[in-house]
Amino acid sequence: MSTDFSVDDKLGLLENTIDYFWTQFAGIVVLLMQLGFAFLEGGCVRYKNMQSIMIKVYLNTCIAIICWWLVGYGICMGHGQFAGTDYYAGSNFAGTKHYSHWVLQASVGAAANSIVSGGAVERMSIIGYCFLSVAFSSFIYPICAHWTWGGGWLQELGYIDLAGSGTIHFMSAVGALVLTIMLGARKNRWDEKYANDFNPSNTTYICLSTLSLYTCWIFFNAGSTTALSGTMAYAAGRATTNTMIAGASGGLTLMLLHYYKNRDEKAKFSLVMICNGNLAGLVAVTGSCDGIELWAAFVIGILGGLTYWAFGILIHKFKVDDPVDAFPIHGGCGLIGAQFPGWFNTEKGILYGYGAKQWGIQLLGSVVWLGWSVVLHVVVIFLLKILGLLNVPPEVEEKGLDYAQCGGGGFDYQLLPPVLSSNGYDNVKSAINQKQDNIPQFGQENDQQQVV
């Protein structure tokens, strides 16, 4: 049998190799977003819960990978309008693109799962969160991914969402909102006497994690093209450039807003707010970044920052205890990000004379994500509550999950100066509160900005 290949065959093989490597490499980098989420949420919570929230992020990473191997990828990328019917447990992967595509989709699924974890901070049981992660990774999210990218009915309608402003961020943030409401507020959260107790414990972690997420987000968005051959290299480059611009303009927008609001105070600048704005811009541009011009990315970043600010005011007004601001960032900005293809897409957007049809499709998708996420998360979380797996006991919440269930704090207090290390968490909290001025957030005197 001859093993000679034509020039066209060799070129086709080379293109496939480039595309598959790009998709797999992007997936590997996207998995590093879990490091960013772990330190981001760890920096936002109190010291007594730092280790427990990192455990939850790490566990949802492991759970997502196993669930995506067994059922998630099959539901997402298999054939069918409602859900896929093949590729379960790696079946029919041999000799196909699906090995490399699985790497990307499993990593993205883990990142989506970590958005929901923001609602579980400081008061949800670790075992209960594991069960929620299984449900999210096995069914709740894969169905949505199939409708958008796997040949489902929304994709057939023409819904546009390259890397998931609506499909991932908005849908997952709605789940986080449902979770945090059903868990209830943390003890003393809205008591002004204890306001400083709920400030982020480590803004250095927040900065480090946001910068790492910013970098990984480029591969998240550009890698979602799943190809570099031919003209797809242009699409990936455009997605990369727009992602960087939107993140930067979002960060600058929140810095300026915070400075203007606090120009006569000591806290004129806020590292956390810059990080908030950066993530807001990234979420807002995620769905449209491959089909818009550079000026539009700059505008979208600004709109993302303003949206985060507005949704932050809203959830504080209604006293929703969202410990890491998961909903203002991923929910509010994901919602508007899902609309932007209908406005800014150069081939289908309203601003380019193509009418409102595409925007109508985008609105339909957003309604679907809202309804699907609310119903499924309410059902799963209610079952966990019935089984006694939702909230930790009050005494565990008071002591902190790290000390009650995880063998101690997230770091060794013996490494701290004696004035801090002698009595552990209580002295650390006391020393921090003595030095911290109240930093206003969204017009409230005693809330410091938090973010995921």
Direct distance between the N- and C-terminal alpha carbons of the chain, in angstroms, rounded to an integer: 58
Q: With a cut of 70, which residues of the chain have pLDDT below it?
A: 1-3, 411-452
Do the Cβ atoms of 258 and 307 come closer than 8 Å? Answer: no
Q: What is the per-residue pLDDT across 204-249, written as a single tens digit (0 to 9) for each?
A: 999 999 999 999 999 999 999 999 998 999 999 999 999 999 999 9
Q: What is the pLDDT of residue 325?
A: 93
Which structure tokens are listed for 252?
């600058």
Which among 447, 42, 118 has a CA at the least distance from the CA of 270?
447
**Strand, coil or helix: what is 25?**
helix
Backbone angles phi, psi at 230, to 5 degrees: 60, -135
Do the Cβ atoms of 434 and 428 come closer than 8 Å? Answer: no
Strand partners, 124: 391
Backbone angles phi, psi at 391, to 5 degrees: -85, 145
Indicate the helix (H) or strand (E) that contains 206.
helix 203-223
Q: What is the pLDDT of residue 198?
A: 87
Q: What is the pLDDT of residue 415?
A: 55
In the DSSP assignment, the letter for residue 328 is I
Do the Cβ atoms of 286 and 162 come closer than 8 Å? Answer: yes
* 449 phi-psi bin (left φ>0, alpha ψ -120 to 50, beta other): beta
Q: Report which residue type is found at 115.
A: I
Which among 124, 154, 135 has a CA at the least distance from the CA of 64?
135
Distance CA 363, CA 358 (A): 9
Q: How far is CA 236 from CA 221, 227, 240, in A?
A: 8, 8, 6
Q: What is the pLDDT of residue 310?
A: 97
Beta strand spans in 142-248 (E): none
CA angle centred on 369, ends 24 and 318, rounded to 5°: 120
Beta strand spans in 127-254 (E): none
Do the Cβ atoms of 348 and 354 come closer than 8 Å? Answer: yes
Residue in the block written with tokens 């006391």: 430
pTM: 0.90
Strand partners, 441: 444
Q: From the CB of residue 30, how many other CB atoms can be counted at a distance below 10 Å?
A: 27
Distance CA 130, CA 141 (A): 15
Q: Report which residue type is found at 230.
A: G
**Strand, coil or helix: what is 391?**
strand
Distance CA 306, CA 222 (A): 25
Which structure tokens are listed for 338?
């899902």
Q: From the CB of residue 426, how many other CB atoms can be counted at a distance below 10 Å?
A: 10
Question: How would DSSP label each residue in 67-106?
Answer: HIIIIIHHHHHSSSSSS--S-GGGTT-TTSTHHHHHHHHH
In the DSSP assignment, the letter for residue 329 is I
Indicate the helix (H) or strand (E) that contains 61.
helix 50-67
Distance CA 197, CA 436 (A): 11
Angle between helices 33-44 and 7-31 (to 10 degrees): 20
Q: What is the per-residue pLDDT across 41-55, written as a single tens digit (0 to 9) for each?
A: 999 998 899 999 999
Distance CA 293, CA 239 (A): 10
